Every structure is written in structure tokens, then in C-alpha cells.
Amino acid sequence: MAVTTTPKLDAHKLRADFPVFEQPIHGKPLAFLDSAVTSQKPRQVLDAMRDFYATSYSNVHRGVYTLSERATEGYEGAREKVRAFLNASSTREVIFTRQATEALNLVAYAWGLDNLGPGDLALVTELEHHSNFVPWQQIARRTGADFRMLPIDDLGELRMDLLDEVAGDAPVKVVAANLVSNSLGTINPIERLAAWAHERGAIMVVDAAQAAPHRRIDVQTLGADFVAFSSHKMCGPTGAGVLWGRRELLEAMSPFNYGGSMIRSVKVEETLWNELPYKFEAGTPAIAEAYGLGVAIDYLEAVGLEAIEQHEHELAEHALERLAELPFVTVYGPPPDRRVGLVSFNVEGVHPHDVAQVLDWEGIAIRAGHHCCQPLMTRLGVAATNRASFYLYTIPDEIDRLVEGLRKVKDVLG
Amino acid sequence: MSEFDQLYREVILDHYKNPRGHGVMEDADAEAEGQNPLCGDEVSIYVAFGEDGDTIDDVMFSGRGCAISQAATSMLTEMVKGRKASEVAGMPKEELLEEIGIPLTPVRLKCAILGLTTLRLALHKGKGTPLPEGLAELEDLELR
């Protein structure tokens, strides 16, 4: 049996790259356990963006002068980095958006309005973030299409066995699912879901916002037709996101936004669209932010996506083990081998807001709320949960502090 | 006293653990439901008027939420009992915040005034008076 060795990641060493950890919060070291909401930024990204603005900044694809050429090189260089990151076959399939949300709306509007009709079925899952749920619900409403949800089981995993039953005889046109759940950390079987979707003649739209920062994605083997993710969750800046789509689908789609850059020629009678990917990038894009995303990808690749995945897996195991010591804590979601470094839980009798507030005074940042997943909260029978989520800079000591903090929560409010 | 101790000062914890006026009122003269979409807090408020049709004879609340939202609503029920609905319907949030008496971040402020907003909505609906700006938007939200 061949054994592949992944060099271990040294989180203590990596933390030195993140200036945010240099400041105390309420007099305590910061334990940032909310990386699923957004990640902190390494000096490498911050410095590169400042240098870019200071030396290479102008608008892209416009000027013939040196600065504009540098800016275009930086922006298009980032596109190539994204292409390689996803193992996409062409940079024409890589569209820069504001974030995963805009990328998903782009598909829902530009593909959905032209391809959904009365009686067609748009299928999402009970695990979806509102950003991959509401756009399909609303476009289905506008086009007269049917909108249904694939349920989960008690461990928070998709009921794949119910696919045929939920879809019935309806012509399925689109299946939308996340690769990793932002609420429970469940890793979804996208390959199987995509195979089913394609068998039924549907396209597969994947929200990879919680996957791209944490594990390797290969769009050539994933089986998806569209993949969306955000820069800000993977060490890059806010304001940049990516939509990857199959070229033939993108070619056939109408534009989402109209404006500069996305046109070939404009006459009163008619306008011709620019080629891919520019057809979908109207107006001045987030230039330095896209550039920053490219630098973030370099950073993640240097650490190693496989090492990050392994590190977070170990953290999830540690967290689940430690939280099991607390009889007043209920943990949601699948076992550690089928989830990323993310744990949702509740403290008996204490509202998540109060949990998060007490922990804040210990310097521990966690998320408390419905995580933009109200259908899922309804399924779990709760108004909200607490969520601790980990990244390459998370150390086991922070999880131990979380456990101690939860004992204090129970003392004060339980 | 640290800021932490202030936030969960004894009176807040007391109201949270032993909420006053907690429960569902059957045949209420006025009622409304409020949500804080940010955190999933929910509160329903029920009011019984006196014979004059204006005095708040009794007020109760049900729902679930964080300590701040539940304690603030509990304190509110004590504050408004016996007062005129027409006056309480226009009660400024500062009056409640003074009673709560702890520093609140903007996020927690929303928790703290959820009960008051819902009570004002209930009173306007119960009395049939037009909803002032702000509350009208809440009514729209409920209808969706």
C-alpha cells in the first residue's frame, strides 16, 4: 500500500504571519474561532496589496501606459492563479465577482431566467446557506418553476436515498448544494449529487465558500457545472469572489450586469457582448482585491491545502472530544471524518448570544446565530446555535480555552 | 465592577431566570409578535386593557431569546402595568434602557428593545391607531 505523507502544518509558526493575534482582547490573547464567517489576513497579503496600490495601480484593460499594463498583469495573473487553484481548463471559465453570493446570484439570474419554466424543478438542500437557497427560490417563483428541498438526516447529512422521491417525475433543471455546510461542517457528496443531476438532465451548482479555503477542489473531477467561492474566507481580502463555470454554459448565457468592459460593440439598434470571461465582468472590477486573492492562493499553496485539511481534521477531532466532556453541551453534525474544522453546538438553557458574549470576555470569538440557514435551524428545532470554526492558524489550546469558557457560561447563566 | 459583571448584573440575571409576566394570555385585547432576524430571538406580547379601554391592566410575554432580550422584556412588563396604552405606545427606548442600566453594544441594543418594539406594535394594533414610521416596517415584515 502506498503511503502518502503530508508535511504537517505548524500553526504556532503560521500565527506569526497574522498581525491580528498581536493584540489582546479584553486583556486575553485572541482565540479567533470564527474563521467560517471570514478568515484573518496574513501579512503577505496585506503587504502585497499595499505595494500593488503604491506601485502598480490603475484601471485594467484600458490604458496603454505602464501602470495600466501592470494593473492588468496583476489582475489577469490572479485569474491564472485561480484557474490553477481549481484545475480549470481555461481562464475563460474564471469570472471575478464580489463574493460567492454574487456568483450564485449570477447563475440564478443569468442561467435561471432563461432556462427555468413552469413545471421545471429547482432542487436545493436543507443545508444551504441563504445565498444558495433564496436566489433559486425567487427565480423559481418568477419563472413558475417548482422549488424543493432535499432533507438531511439527524447527523446533518443529505438524504441521498430520497433524491428520486423528492424529485418525483418533475423535469429537474438545476440542483444547488454546498460542498461543505457552513452550519454543521458536513462534507457533501457532490460527485454523487452531480451524477444524479446529470442523469436527470439538470445542471449542478456548487457553493464552495466553505470548502475552497480548507481542501483541494478539482473542477475537472468534481462533476459540478458551476462553482462559487469568496476570497475573504481564504486569507484574501473582501470584495472579491469567483464563479467558475463550464465554458459552453457560460457562452450560451446572457450577461448578468450590463456596462463597460462587457461589450464588444454598442449601437443604438444592438449591442454585442464581449468574450468570456469579460462578458460577466461589467464595470471596473475589484482590481487590488482580485490581486490580493491571487496572493492568498500563493500563501495557501505554500502551506499546502492537504496539510490544512489534515490540521483542521485533527482540530475537529480534538474539539468533539473535549466538548463531549461537557454534559450540558449538545453538538450537532456528523462524525469528524465527514466534517471540516467546524463545530456547531448549544449550551443547555443558555441562548447562543449569551454564550458568545461571555466567551468574548475571555478573548474567544465564536459565532452565535442562525448562520443564514433558517430552514436548517427549523430542522434542528433551535432558533440559533453557537459555532466554533477553525483554520490554519488555530491551535488546540484555543479549543481548550473554549471548553473552559463554556464551563464559565454554565456557571453564570445556566 | 468589570464591564462583564455589569452586563450580567444581578438584576438582569434575576429577570432572566425568573421572568415576570411570562406566559401566553388567552383572549388578549392586544397582541403582537416580534423577531430579531439577526439572532433568531422571538417574543410575543399580550395585553389586557382595563374598563376604560386604555389602562394596561395586565401584560404578558412568551418566546425565546437571549438573557438580554428576555430580561428586558420582563422588566418592561413591570414598567408598563397600570399605565395608559396611549402613552406607552409612544414610549421612547431610552426609558427602558435607563431601567436596564447597562452599557449595550449596537447588536445587543436590538435584543434589548425587541420587547418594547413588539409591545408598541401590539398597542397600536389593539387601539387601531396608525403605526408610526419604523413600526410600520415591522408590520410589513410580519405579513410576508
DSSP of B81-104:
TTSBHHHHTT--HHHHHHHH-S--
Those residues whose C-beta lies under 8 Å from the C-beta of residue A188, and which sit 6 or more positions away, are A125, A127, A157, A158, A177, A178, A179, A180, A181
Angstrom distance (rounded) from CA A271 to CA B133: 44
Give me the pLDDT at residue A369, please: 85
Assess A383–B contact: CB distance below 8 Å, yes or no. Answer: yes
Cβ of A383 within 8 Å of Cβ of B42? The answer is yes
Q: What is the per-residue pLDDT across A366-409, written as a single tens digit (0 to 9) for each?
A: 999 888 888 898 899 888 899 999 999 999 999 999 999 999 99
DSSP B31-44: EEEEEETTTTEEEE
* Residue B5: band (very low, low, confident or very high) from pLDDT cuts 50, 70, 90: low
Asked if the Cβ–Cβ distance from B64 to A369 is below 8 Å, we say: no
pLDDT at B6: 67
Given a cut of 90, whether residue B82 has pLDDT beyond it is: yes
Q: What is the pLDDT of residue A4?
A: 57
Going by pLDDT thresholds of 50, 70 and 90, the confidence category of residue A5 is low
- Catalytic site residue from A372, A388, A406, A409: A372
pLDDT at A2 over 80: no
A248 residue type, one letter: E
A263 touches chain B (CB under 8 A): no
Residue A168 has pLDDT above 50, yes or no: yes
Q: How confident is the prediction for chain A on average, in pLDDT?
A: 96
- Averaged over A228-237, what is the pLDDT? 98
Strand order in the sheet with A385-389: A329-332, A342-347, A385-389, A367-369
Question: Is the Cβ of B40 closer than 8 Å to some Cβ of chain A?
Answer: yes
Categorize the per-residue pLDDT at B78 as very low, low, confident or very high, splitting at 50, 70 and 90: very high
* A276 CA: distance to closest CA in chain B (Å): 38
B16 in contact with A, Cβ within 8 Å: yes
pLDDT (0 to 100) of residue A158 = 98
| pLDDT for the residue numbered A123 | 98
pLDDT in tens, A309-335: 999 999 999 999 999 999 999 999 999
Q: Which segment of A185-194, A352-361, B124-133 scores lowest on mean pLDDT?
A: B124-133
Identity of the residue in B39, B64, B70 whose CB atom sits nearest the CB atom of A368:
B39
The answer, yes or no, to whether ipTM is higher than 0.85 is: no
Greater pLDDT, B139 or A295: A295
Integer angstrom CA distances of residue B144 from A35, A171, A379, B133:
33, 29, 21, 18
Give φ, ψ of A114 to 5 degrees.
-90, -15
Nearest C-alpha of chain A: how many angstroms from B56?
Answer: 30
- Shortest distance, CA B81 to any CA of chain A (angstroms): 27
The CB density around residue B65, as the number of other CB atoms within 10 Å, is 27
Which residues 264-283 of chain A have a CB within 8 Å of chain B?
none
Q: What is the pLDDT of residues A82-93, one digit of tens each?
A: 999 999 999 999
Phi, psi of A377 (to 5 degrees): -60, -40
Work out the pLDDT band at B142, boundaries 50, 70, 90: very low
No. of helices (H) and no. of strands (E), chain A: 15, 17
pLDDT, tens only, A244-259: 999 999 999 999 999 9
User: Residue B137 class from Cβ within 10 Å (0-12 exposed, 13-18 middle, 19+ buried)?
Assistant: exposed
Helix (H, G, I), strand (E, B) or coil at A249: helix
pLDDT band per the 50, 70, 90 thresholds, residue A113: very high
> Which residue, among A87, A25, A117, A65, has the nearest Cα to A366 in the 3D structure?
A25
pLDDT of residue B113 exceeding 60: yes
**Residue A382 cell numbers, joined:** 433551535
Task: State the pLDDT at residue B11.
Answer: 85
Examine the pLDDT at A3 and tell me if it is beyond 80.
Answer: no
pLDDT at site B140: 44
pLDDT at A146: 98
The pLDDT of residue A64: 85
Q: Which of B4, B40, B36, B44 is nearest to B106 (CA)?
A: B36
Contact with chain B for residue A413, Cβ under 8 A: yes
HSE-up of A203 (CA within 13 Å, CB side)?
17
Q: What is the pLDDT of residue A216?
A: 97
Q: List, for residues A35-70, the tens digit of each pLDDT value.
A: 999 999 999 999 999 999 999 999 998 888 999 999
For chain A, positions 342-371, list CB contacts with chain B under 8 A: 350-354, 357-358, 361, 368-370
Q: Are the CB atoms for A375 and A149 separated by under 8 Å?
A: yes
Over range A278-287, report the average pLDDT.
97
> What is the band of B144 on the pLDDT scale with cuts at 50, 70, 90?
very low
Q: What pLDDT sits at residue A346?
A: 96
Provide the pLDDT for residue B123.
95
8 Å CB contact of A383 and B108: no
A235 is an active site residue: no
| Residues B66, A412: C-beta atoms closer than 8 Å | no
Average pLDDT over residues A181-200: 97
Taking CA atoms, B66 is separated from A362, B7, B15, B95, B109, in Å, by: 19, 12, 12, 21, 12
pTM, to two decimals = 0.90
Position B139 pLDDT exceeds 60: no
Query: Are A243 and A256 within 8 A, CB to CB?
Result: no
What average pLDDT does range A339-344 have in this prediction?
Answer: 97
Instruction: Count CA within 13 A, CB hemisphere, residue A336.
Output: 17
Residues B27-45 have a mean pLDDT of: 86
3-state SS assignment for residue A253 = coil
